[in-house]
Amino acid sequence: MKIALSIAGSDPTGGAGLQADLQVFRAMGVHGAGVVTAITVQDTAKVHQVLPAFPSVVLEQLRVLLRDLTPDAIKIGALASDDVVRNVQLALAPFLSASSAVPIVIDPVLAASDGTVLLERRAWGVLQSLIGSAALVTPNLEEAASLTECDTSTEEGTQAAASVLVSEFGARAALVKGGHRDGPPRDLLAVRDGGSVSLRWLEGERVEGGPFHGTGCALSSAITAQLALGAALEDAVDRGRQFVANALRKTAGSGARARLLSYSCSD
């Protein structure tokens, strides 16, 4: 079985974070390995507390794991603190060079939907350098705006942000998720193409019945699973989006505020 590694925060609801990532990996037929970066206290209504993991323990988890297993793809989610990001970067050093064959997907989680900070502000700089080694970075509009200082309330600004993530930050591709904008959700995929950046809008269909919990985590982990299985980047993105759209239509259940996605193998 192919192996996907998620480096992410714990969400006890199972709707987001590491628990969701592992469910998605399993549904896609990939073995999921996981390293916890933060413990959260949360329900579907809000994040009550975020406790970053000890940075040295994150480092050791990764070192010991990577001495033993070689992942086929890696997903990085919420990293909580500056020291945690630095230690992830240290432990992943062999995978961060341009010659590494292991694709890394970074979901640059800055905050939860309720506004709770999931990555401290002073860590944005080191996150930016990590993004330089990513096969794909998957910010939502707000995260793209925060990281690039582009105004993503317009299409032009969103295109500028996606281009910055690729041409200035150095990611091979960026998927800026437009799901939180009114109207049919449109994502923008920017891919490095020789010396330039090619841009493609991906149209989606709004699924009623939200709010949903953990859609961003599910999308990035579904794309990671596809990359672990050997899919080309654009195919992995298309299949990941389709997988999440199907999961939204079924939903596994409802909490006090948000609904949980339901993942199944047939997606």
CA distance 58 to 90: 10
Residue with Cβ nearer ligand PLP (8 or 131): 8
Which of 5, 11, 34, 108 touches ligand PLP by CB under 6 A? 11
**With left for phi above 0 and alpha for psi between -120 and 50, is residue 151 left, alpha or beta?**
beta
Of 4-12, 142-150, 173-181, 184-192, the segment contacting ligand PLP by CB under 6 A is 4-12
Amino acid at 59: L
* Closest CA relative to residue 83, chosen from 59, 112, 50: 59
Which of 177, 213, 239, 259 touches ligand PLP by CB under 6 A? 213
**With left for phi above 0 and alpha for psi between -120 and 50, is residue 17 left, alpha or beta?**
left
Which of 7, 16, 91, 260 touches ligand PLP by CB under 6 A? 16
CA distance 258 to 192: 36
Which of 6, 23, 40, 148 touches ligand PLP by CB under 6 A? 40
DSSP per-residue string spanning 137-171: E--BHHHHHHHH---TTSHHHHHHHHHHHHHTS--
* Interaction of residue 17 with ligand PLP, rule CB under 6 A: yes
Residue with Cβ nearer ligand PLP (38 or 59): 38
Binding track over 46-65 against ligand PLP, x by CB under 6 A: -x------------------
Amino acid at 258: A
Give the number of C-alpha atoms closer than 13 A to the C-alpha of residue 112, restricted to the C-beta side: 26
Residue with Cβ nearer ligand PLP (159 or 263): 263
Total residues in contact with ligand PLP, by rule CB under 6 A? 17
* Interaction of residue 113 with ligand PLP, rule CB under 6 A: yes
Residue 67 beta carbon to ligand PLP: minimum distance, rounded to whole angstroms: 26
Contact residues for ligand PLP (CB under 6 A)? 8-9, 11, 16-17, 40, 47, 77-78, 109, 112-113, 118, 213-214, 216-217
